[in-house]
Chain A
Amino acid sequence: MLFNSLPFYIFFPLVTLGYFLLPHRFRWLWLLAASAYFYMAFIPAYILILLATILVDYFSGLAIEKAEGKRRRGFLILSLAANLGMLGFFKYFNFFNANAAALAHWLDWNYPIPSLNILLPIGLSFHTFQSMAYTIEVYRGNQKAERHIGILALYVLFYPQLVAGPIERPAHMLPQFREAHKFDYQNAADGLRLMAWGFFKKLVIADRLALLVNPVFAEPSGYPGPLLALAALAFSYQIYCDFSGYSDIAIGAARVMGFRLMTNFDRPYSSHSFSEFWRRWHISLSSWFRDYFYISLGGNRVPTWRHSLNIFLTFLVSGLWHGANWTFVIWGMLHGIYLIAEQWMKRPREAMFRFLRLGRAPRLQKALEWLAVFSLVSLAWIFFRAPSLAAALDYIQRIGRHWEPAGASLLFEQIRVTLGQNFPPAILFSSLNGAQVLIIVVLQILFLEAVQRLQRQQPLERILAAQPAILRWGAYYALLANILLFGAFEQTTFIYFQF
């Protein structure tokens, strides 16, 4: 079930109402049933994968807690093998098999293993990682094994974060399922505000930008360089608004019932360094990799070269986590290289700033840092979005072509027919040209950035709550009217569902 679909608009209030009307002892069962229904709205049979994961991790958790020494480690390995095996089979088998076949073909060897005709279960990487966090924490002694299989199942299946996170930790979530939440006005109001904000990001910005991004990335040869550059920048905002919008809706839906999910995004495009970017982007995943992979490799308590290698490997695996394609691997590797280069170049960079006397203009220095980070992050997104490595390289090459001023009118027509597709303002005001459509969309992005800037001090919901009723309700009405008038209602799935 999609958050931006009519069934969810019915599902959400019913489940929330049922949750508060039921006695506390039945609530876990209600939420579990609702979450299973939510997941089964995609492909019902795949719930069996989740059940298998839950069973393996439930018994592994109990066994790890009971066992000592090597047996403890053995049960952990069993659990991780089951989880990663499932992930490997459904997500990576065809990728590695195709590469092995290509290698065999190159070596002129016979390779008989065919590809499998299987669909990737929705959100597999998310719930697998959440499950693994549980057994690892039990193994590390930070978490007691969960005795109640229903509660553990709910930890994996909890519908708001089931298919695209945030990837939660057992110590944060499991106790919350035992709390007897009472209906709280503030929680409900905060949750709904956050959901509305998430819908704005998804429907008004992400899905609108997709109308430009999709055709341009599908056939870059049909468009001039400026449009390719614009589509690459648009994708940076599309993926951010799509994914952070999903997270906002998920966090908001959970908050209405009294659950606190972890923050997943914190204005990532305001970052002035790559390390800052990764503290702000997909926080639940980057902290997962930090806690369970990077630190296991030795983290930064190793020689410098090894530290750099640890960073590189972490980002390489993170890239592969996003998808079974070399484009994601390269995207991860690029970010690994960015971070390593940032560390190694720290002194030369400071020397250069001194030479340019940027110390006297700290704002300019900050702006240059921001520009460098945003440009390089956007460049890496091209690999993330392109269907293949060759397509990504071709796309980047083509950005430099056809910047002639004479092509401007066709360029704006192309913006009009892509970005302005089914755009009520563009149809209402038939004279609206491509440039005006672009301005309206850019204004929406600036509005997003302005609100996010306001959130530096305190969350949006708190800011709104502090305003007089007339202003507050005016803002609600304006936001909802904005969604109704400017939203792109095609019921597109969220990009991160595919992971």
Chain B
Amino acid sequence: MKPFLQRIFLLLPLLASMLFLNWFVDPAHLRAPDAYERGVVSMLAQGQAVTNVVNDDASAILEYHILAQTSAPDILLLGTSKSKGIHSDFFPGQTFFNAALSGSGLGDLLVIYHLYESRGLIPDAVILELNPWLLSAGRASQSKRFEARRAELEWNLLRDRAPARPSRVKRSRFSQSIYARIFTPDYFQSSLLQLWSAALHGAAPRAYHAGDATNGLTYFPDGSILVRPDMIANLGTEIPEAYALKYGWDPPGGIPLQMDVRQRKILEAFLARLLESGVKVTFYLPPYHPTSYELMMNAPSRFVTDIQSYFIELAQANRVEVIGSFNPGDLGITNADFYDPTHISTEAILRIFEENR
């Protein structure tokens, strides 16, 4: 067995270089959880835009960013990446914070709002971006970070209890998953990509800095995010179109084939709580890509129209304003308004909002 083991050790350099690269680049910042995100937030809190943010935990940035605020904004936006381009220029004369989180489920929205409410910070108005998957039990939460708090808040909300104080985030420096991920080949691929991408842009792989967008995303002090304009321009229309075809039958986030009763109750209870607190609520229904929407209408996903009807009935019953529609045709949104298969440009969102003013 000895000669065999000796020869097996010859493969060690390959394994060692994989581990070294994973450790050194650490694309998901496993080695120092949250340190990267805290650094970004400290700059945002000073009013600086931060760019070259790569592989961040967006939920951590959002949480620290909200906790750094000492007063509630006039208008708070809760939603997903579909709304992340909405910025304070949309609402002149009012303070605004964009608390949207990519892929949020209903539970995530509860936790994010609770970060304000638990500190007695109640905004005047809340824009609630509603997506079909909010009514899917399987998509109650996207963020692992918010998972435990989500369950607690839902439980309280369904029993009409006052929300508890937010429990502190407990994270060990090295969780089990860190060890597991550092050994995985897919993490190696991510490390390699990040290293390569940083080299192409002449930046250190994990650097972020104040200023204009150069690589990755740019975060703004009002919570909005800018996707680099040349990234959008490079996409052209064919790539979004090709992805939109794919998403026509398999929409990201999925579309439930029936509305989950519990999720509906949670949404209705959340809305009731907001209205009881004197908050003016506006629903925002983001449009799908025209190609995706057309395909969805010929598939089980056409249930999206029933979900939209439910959201509108809910709004009417509570005298809540509705902006937008899942159907891009209702809003005059075309393929050209999409910079990728799921997101419309900030200008297109502004157009939708202006028409409702």
Q: Is the CB of B298 within 8 A of A417?
A: no
Q: Is the CB of A219 within 8 A of B185?
A: no
Tell which of B14, B234, B242, B250 touches A417, judged by Cβ atoms closer than 8 Å.
B242
Known: A6-B180, A222-B295. A489 touches B189 (CB 8 A): yes
Contacts of B10 on A, CB cut-off 8 Å?
A: 473
Q: Judge if B121 is at the interface, Cβ distance under 8 Å.
A: no
Tell which of B183, B196, B238 touches A6, judged by Cβ atoms closer than 8 Å.
B183
Q: Is the CB of A222 within 8 A of B249?
A: yes
- B241-264: which have CB < 8 Å to A? 241-243, 245-246, 248-250
Q: Judge if B186 is at the interface, Cβ distance under 8 Å.
A: yes
Q: Give the distance to chain B from A411, nearest Cβ to Cβ, in Å.
A: 9
Contacts of B242 on A, CB cut-off 8 Å?
A: 410, 413-414, 416-417
Q: Judge if A174 is at the interface, Cβ distance under 8 Å.
A: no
Q: Is the CB of A219 within 8 A of B248?
A: yes
Number of interface residues of A (CB under 8 A): 35
Q: Judge if B299 is at the interface, Cβ distance under 8 Å.
A: yes
Tell which of A189, A484, A489 touches B18, judged by Cβ atoms closer than 8 Å.
A484
Known: A183-B4, A428-B193. A218 touches B239 (CB 8 A): no
Tell which of A6, A189, A219, A223 touches B184, judged by Cβ atoms closer than 8 Å.
A6
Q: Is the CB of A477 within 8 A of B14?
A: yes
Q: Judge if B133 is at the interface, Cβ distance under 8 Å.
A: no
Tell which of A20, A215, A221, A422 touches B1, judged by Cβ atoms closer than 8 Å.
A20
How long is the Cα–Cα vector from A481 to B192 in the complex, in angstroms? 12
How long is the Cα–Cα vector from A188 to B6 in the complex, in angstroms? 13
Q: Judge if B146 is at the interface, Cβ distance under 8 Å.
A: no
Tell which of A9, A413, A424 touches B192, judged by Cβ atoms closer than 8 Å.
A424
Residue-wise, chain A 9-20 has the 8 Å CB interface mask toward B (1 for contact) of 100000000001
Q: Judge if A22 is at the interface, Cβ distance under 8 Å.
A: no
- B7-28: which have CB < 8 Å to A? 7, 10-11, 14, 18
Closest partner residue, chain A, to B196 (CB atom): A428
Q: Is the CB of A489 within 8 A of B185?
A: yes
Q: Is the CB of A417 within 8 A of B3?
A: no
Q: Is the CB of A222 within 8 A of B189?
A: no
Q: Judge if B188 is at the interface, Cβ distance under 8 Å.
A: yes
How long is the Cα–Cα vector from A410 to B245 in the complex, in angstroms? 11
How long is the Cα–Cα vector from A436 to B18 in the complex, in angstroms? 27
Residue-wise, chain A 430-447 has the 8 Å CB interface mask toward B (1 for contact) of 100000000000000000
How long is the Cα–Cα vector from A250 to B193 in the complex, in angstroms? 32
Closest partner residue, chain B, to A220 (CB atom): B249
Contacts of B245 on A, CB cut-off 8 Å?
A: 222-223, 414
Q: Is the CB of B11 within 8 A of A480?
A: yes
Q: Give the distance to chain B from A359, nearest Cβ to Cβ, in Å.
A: 48
Q: Is the CB of B3 within 8 A of A185?
A: yes
Q: Give the distance to chain A from B129, nearest Cβ to Cβ, in Å.
A: 25
How long is the Cα–Cα vector from A20 to B4 in the complex, in angstroms? 14
How long is the Cα–Cα vector from A427 to B193 in the complex, in angstroms? 7
Q: Is the CB of A416 within 8 A of B239?
A: yes
- A446-499: which have CB < 8 Å to B? 473, 476-477, 480-481, 483-485, 487, 489
How long is the Cα–Cα vector from A485 to B189 in the complex, in angstroms? 7
Q: Judge if A409 is at the interface, Cβ distance under 8 Å.
A: yes
Q: Give the distance to chain A from B237, nearest Cβ to Cβ, in Å.
A: 10
Contacts of B180 on A, CB cut-off 8 Å?
A: 6
- A370-412: which have CB < 8 Å to B? 409-410
How long is the Cα–Cα vector from A215 to B341 in the complex, in angstroms? 16
Contacts of A9 on B, CB cut-off 8 Å?
A: 183
Q: Judge if A318 is at the interface, Cβ distance under 8 Å.
A: no
Q: Give the distance to chain A from B22, nearest Cβ to Cβ, in Å.
A: 11
Contacts of B18 on A, CB cut-off 8 Å?
A: 484
Q: Is the CB of B246 within 8 A of A418?
A: yes
Q: Is the CB of A215 within 8 A of B189?
A: no
Q: Give the distance to chain A from B244, nearest Cβ to Cβ, in Å.
A: 9
- B268-302: which have CB < 8 Å to A? 295, 298-299
Contacts of A417 on B, CB cut-off 8 Å?
A: 239, 242-243, 246
Residue-wise, chain A 215-235 has the 8 Å CB interface mask toward B (1 for contact) of 100110111000000000000
Known: A189-B4, A219-B295. A409 touches B238 (CB 8 A): yes
How long is the Cα–Cα vector from A188 to B5 in the complex, in angstroms? 10
Closest partner residue, chain B, to A417 (CB atom): B242
Contacts of B189 on A, CB cut-off 8 Å?
A: 422, 424, 484-485, 489
A interface residue numbers (CB < 8 A to B): 6, 9, 20, 183, 185, 188-189, 215, 218-219, 221-223, 409-410, 413-414, 416-418, 422, 424, 427-428, 430, 473, 476-477, 480-481, 483-485, 487, 489
* New contact pairs (5) apart from A9-B183, A485-B189, CB-CB < 8 Å: A20-B1, A215-B246, A219-B249, A489-B184, A489-B185
30 contacts between A and B (CB under 8 A): A9-B183, A183-B4, A185-B3, A218-B250, A219-B250, A219-B299, A221-B298, A222-B246, A409-B238, A410-B241, A410-B242, A413-B241, A413-B242, A416-B239, A416-B242, A417-B239, A417-B246, A418-B246, A422-B189, A424-B189, A427-B197, A428-B193, A430-B234, A473-B10, A480-B14, A483-B185, A484-B18, A485-B189, A489-B184, A489-B186
A-B pairs with the 10 shortest C-beta distances? A219-B249, A489-B186, A413-B242, A413-B238, A222-B245, A417-B242, A414-B242, A183-B1, A428-B196, A424-B189
